[in-house]
Structure 1
Amino acid sequence: MSTEFLGLLVLYLAILLALAPFVGRYIRRAMEDDRYLATAWGRPLERVLYRVAGVRANAEMGWKQYAIAVIAFNMLGVVVVYALQRMQAWLPLNPQGFGAVSPDSAFNTAVSFVANTNWQGYAGESTMSYLTQMLALTVQNFFSAATGIAVVFALIRGFARQSAATIGNFWVDMTRCTLYVLVPISAAIALALVSQGVIQNFDSYKEVSLVTPVEYSQPKVDAAGQPVLDAKGAPVMEAMKTDKQTLAMGPVASQEAIKMLGTNGGGFFNANSAHPFENPTELANLIEMLAIFLIPAALCFTFGEMVKDRRQGVAILASMAVIFVVMACVAAASEQQANAALAGLPIDHAASALQAGGNMEGKETRFGIAATALFATITTAASCGAVNAMHDSFTAIGGLVPMLLMQLGEVVFGGVGSGLYGMLVYAVLAVFIAGLMIGRTPEYLGKKIETYEMKMTAVAILVTPLLVLLGTAVAVMVEPGRAGVFNPGTHGFSEILYALSSAANNNGSAFAGLSANTPFYNVLLAAAMWFGRFWIIVPILAMAGSLAAKRRLPVTGGTMPTHGPLFVVLLVGSVLMVGALTYIPALALGPVAEQLQAPVVSAASK
């Protein structure tokens, strides 16, 4: 692990923790305080929106009504995003004349963006028109993020209220979150990114001259466009040469900002945040990393304020930070090691003033190993999935870190809203375990944790492992699943396991060596994304309704404190015990076996 990485990690956490309390307080007041001066500008617009939509802003919902509203709104989102992709050939703002997206890919993408996963089996700059990028994908980046925040507010109200039959109004929560939180902060981030060189235009793609002509070969085709085969049935290759390159244009900065802030992750370009038009400088890279964690960290302070005990939010944040720092250090140390494929070659692998050292395969030289390892840890700790490097090219242990962070349930900061409500589920589990150990009824924030809450906790925790492990098993057993694997053996298995872990936990990043844009994977991963999102949201809302109806119990001498170091250790232990142990057999077949098979390379092999 390099001093460069440690310095970057400290700088990152210092800025994040300086911003989070202020943003957390702003979010609470923007969502809950009707007299907050900072949001007064939007109240007339808010009232117009409610009137047009026929929403009674003062009428709160029980948990079942809230859940129905969440599901109905997001199902409508799937229909709209699917329709826009299928009709984009006839819609405006399509300067490249892209045709309709195939039915299976359009379905996968619609579910993906609605579920805050943003898994992309296509190349954005060669598939989606500007209108589709903006009206379908970017709009859903806002709505899916707002859904997560709305759900966590419903759960927090369950802890904060007592003897209540309601947990809020979904339509009001969605409107305020989008209008007062996501749009203003995204606008500020977009302007900051534009200042660094991220493009924002509606131009047609540009053809530019290359400094040096490029020679390459491609399959020869006949007049009908069919490949020409030789006597053995192999494609005939023809030599090609070009001195031109086509540069994709488009409204990138506006999508880039909310993809990071909303922990969405879908890139305008296929190369995602490794593309210089999405992430051109080291400062842009830092801004994007801060945007990913900003709201998840801030919501911990929002939680503390709403339950009227800021120490509770700090304890949750500390638990997340402990796991994150350890994982980030492991990833950086692993990637700083030499690439095992270069064993035995007369190469100096040590870092120096003239080279990054370690495993630079698949990484951008403008970021290097430190910023890349930190970005990979952040984007998979949060439910973001944006990448500034090829995770498929990481070392075995370096690739295990982002995979394991997703498998923990995306609770280490996690997605906006979803990370906090996932961690609160683990907090309920932690106090239940502690109650069993000391022989008394478990309590959390003055609410008794009883049979119903534990049933909902079990459902919320076990849904994603079920989807990941069953989905992986199906994919490796059937021919359409195995056909997408271009790297047979342990790494190929890791690619499938990573894909299902990413989909079911709504992350969206990939070990892109897996060819996943096929009908089999588009349907399988879409199912994992949908149920991984909403099979958790429904029990979360059910738990919120149950907790809101309970009376708050007074603190006594036997009440276990849930704001100190002991609770942080218990909470971290619960996350690792349930999250990590569930996947050990699968990880042993993938990255662990790959690491054991790799040759050993010294730090300075000659």
Structure 2
Amino acid sequence: MILSLASLFTQLAILLVLLALAHKPLGLYMAKVFESSKNYLPERIFYRLAGVDAGADQKWSTYLRSVLAFSVVGILFIFLMQRLQGLLPGQGAAVDPWVAMNTAISFVTNTNWQTYVPETTVGILVQMLLLAVQNFLSAAVGISVAVALIRGIKRAKTEQLGNFWVDLARASFRILLPIAFIGAVVFVITGVVQNFTMGTEVHNAALGVGQTIPGGPVASQEAIKLLGTNGGGYFNANSAHPFENPNAYSNLFSILLILVIPFSLPYSYGRMVGQQRQGYTILSVMAGLWAASTALMAWAMASAPAASGEGYEQRFGPAASSLFATATTATSTGAVDVAHDSLTPLAGGMAMLNMMLGEVAPGGVGSGLYGMLVLAIISVFIAGLMVGRTPEFMGKKITAKQMKLAAMYILVTPTLVLAMTGITMLLPEQLSNAPANGPHQFSEVLYAFTSAANNNGSAFGGITSSGPYFATMLGLAMFLGRFIPIILVLALAGSLAQQRRVPESSGTVPTHGALFGSLLLVISVVLTALTYFPALALGPLAEGLSR
């Protein structure tokens, strides 16, 4: 397979220009949304229905309880509605309980791991009123938690981090909904399907047989699945399906939607803390990791034999697929326009590494920013040790309490991934669900738990995950991988907000500029390498070296 460098550079240049144009205006707009004191009509209606006092600030513990209660109720509601689907006219049979449980957790945690065939398992009502709506809400939760951490960094001598319900409503109504609407219109223009039919019966005169052409509100769901870095497709083939992603224009626009909010949030961060250079430093590290990942992914795909091509959508080719594969795994999106199981071993390993970085390049909507800020706190702590001073971050001292929270944040996901992968590899009856042999079998299992715990949702397609064991284990990985880090981030935000601000001195380590950015980038890579290299060596690296 030959990867056209001209095609790759052309698409990359267009993408970079569009992201650069959106960075400041979108970042500024999002900052103003969360700094505003106004509540618009849709938000006021939501507050009234939910019984929310929009003027009440919340402690971190109250903010957290709101996040958890909202999410758990969402999981239960989506599970029950899937089980009751058989009672709804024209919506198909009730969804299997294991699949329904896994799907409910998956969409609430912004993972969108799909153990089912969407076009045959769930009807239009479930797709639109449950799954698509949850794509908005789960993304809004991620943005809200990031904003709460920013407030914790900015505020001093207070226990208040804002109001979760207000942040949720503003992220949904003012940011995600308008952009998704525009995105859906663009998708329709490029040829993505948007109708309200389960399928159209046609007769194929050439073959002499009838067939059903599937339909549905695809463009509207496609827009928010990408914008909210959710990733769940309306069709089983996801963004490789021509009804979801018909041509090169829709493919490039899909990548833009995936990256536009994560790459704009650093500007919002700089604006909200009053030091724009802080935001630029975070952005530069995110962009550097993403650029390196894209280059390595393109190189790994180009190393495939010229005759190969199974699993690659020929409408896009390897250049566009390498951009898409990097964007979808360097964020928490998980949508695919190429079968990741068909990638070369090194390209598949690169997709895993993107997720293992904590998806901070640039990461999921909201989660990428708060993940990078936790890494920045660890970096400034290490820098403080080097100069023999108590480390400070944005005028706040980083003490043992903050470092314990940051360290636990870093350890949660690797613990889930490695422990669950190890347990599964010891169960021969479960390994039969990953029928590949040798290192590739290990890679399929490792990829599944890496994807679930990092709330990504993509998979090596060779694994079957709809049975009770995998549905439960992956569900646990998704739930714990989403909410334990959120608990730690909000606790960290609360501890920072309670501190008084410390004035800068000659010994204060600057947390902006090329030097700190380089330190942050190196620490991000080194922490991942120390944690995951043995597992990668047993899987994709071993497979790649054996070829």
TM-score by length of 2: 0.97
Q: Aligned match of 1:488 in 437, 449, 465?
A: 437
> Residues of 2 paired with 1:359 and 1:32: CA distance?
52
CA contact (8 A) 1:335 1:359 kept: no
Q: Which residue of 1 aligns with 2:265?
A: 299
Q: Which residue of 2 aligns with 1:195?
A: 189
> Residues of 2 paired with 1:204 and 1:424: CA distance?
44
Q: Which residue of 1 aligns with 2:106?
A: 112
Q: Which residue of 2 aligns with 1:122?
A: 116
Q: Which residue of 1 aligns with 2:298?
A: 332
Matches within 5 A, 1:355-434: 359-434=308-383
- 1:467-522 deviation line (CA, Å, top 9, x unaligned): 00001011111134201012111111101000000000000000011111111100
> Residues of 2 paired with 1:15 and 1:45: CA distance?
30
CA contact (8 A) 2:47 2:53 kept: yes
Q: Aligned match of 1:46 in 43, 46, 68?
A: 43
Matches within 5 A, 1:3-82: 3-34=6-37, 43-82=40-79
Q: Aligned match of 1:147 in 141, 148, 167?
A: 141
Matches within 5 A, 1:461-480: 461-480=410-429
> Residues of 1 paired with 2:204 and 2:535: CA distance?
46
User: 1:337: how far off?
Assistant: 2.1
User: 1:246: how far off?
Assistant: 2.1
Q: Aligned match of 2:171 in 172, 177, 188?
A: 177
User: 1:301: how far off?
Assistant: 0.3
- 1:71-103 deviation line (CA, Å, top 9, x unaligned): 0000000011101110111124x3xx5101110
Alignment pair present for 1:591 and 2:540: yes
Q: Which residue of 1 aligns with 2:95?
A: 101
Count of residue pairs the alignment pairs up: 544
Structure 2, unmatched stretches of 5+, are none
- 1:310-359 deviation line (CA, Å, top 9, x unaligned): 110110010011111111111111111233xxxxxxxxx3xxxxxxxx74
Seq. identity, %:
49
Alignment pair present for 1:269 and 2:263: no
> Residues of 2 paired with 1:464 and 1:46: CA distance?
34
Structure 1 residues 208 and 23: alpha-carbon distance in aligned structure 2, compared to 1, 3 A threshold = same
Matches within 5 A, 1:535-554: 535-554=484-503
> Residues of 2 paired with 1:111 and 1:331: CA distance?
30
Amino acid at match of 1:550: Q
> Residues of 1 paired with 2:227 and 2:309: CA distance?
28
Amino acid at match of 1:362: G
CA contact (8 A) 1:62 1:545 kept: yes
Q: Which residue of 2 aligns with 1:561?
A: 510
CA contact (8 A) 1:504 1:531 kept: yes
CA contact (8 A) 1:359 1:395 kept: no
> Residues of 2 paired with 1:211 and 1:370: CA distance?
36
Amino acid at match of 1:530: F
> Residues of 1 paired with 2:516 and 2:309: CA distance?
40
Structure 1, unmatched stretches of 5+, are 36-41, 214-241, 340-348, 350-357, 599-606
CA contact (8 A) 1:447 1:551 kept: yes
- 1:8-37 deviation line (CA, Å, top 9, x unaligned): 2222122112111110111111222125xx
CA contact (8 A) 2:11 2:252 kept: no
Q: Which residue of 2 aligns with 1:323?
A: 289
3-state DSSP class of the match of 1:244? strand
Radius of gyration: which is bigger? 1
User: 1:210: how far off?
Assistant: 4.1
CA contact (8 A) 1:381 1:410 kept: yes
> Residues of 2 paired with 1:204 and 1:594: CA distance?
42
- 1:204-231 deviation line (CA, Å, top 9, x unaligned): 3123344754xxxxxxxxxxxxxxxxxx
> Residues of 1 paired with 2:347 and 2:209: CA distance?
38
> Residues of 2 paired with 1:596 and 1:311: CA distance?
43
Q: Which residue of 2 aligns with 1:577?
A: 526
Matches within 5 A, 1:241-256: 243-256=209-222
Q: Which residue of 2 aligns with 1:288?
A: 254
TM-score by length of 1: 0.88
Amino acid at match of 2:189: S
CA contact (8 A) 1:337 1:359 kept: no
CA contact (8 A) 1:474 1:481 kept: no
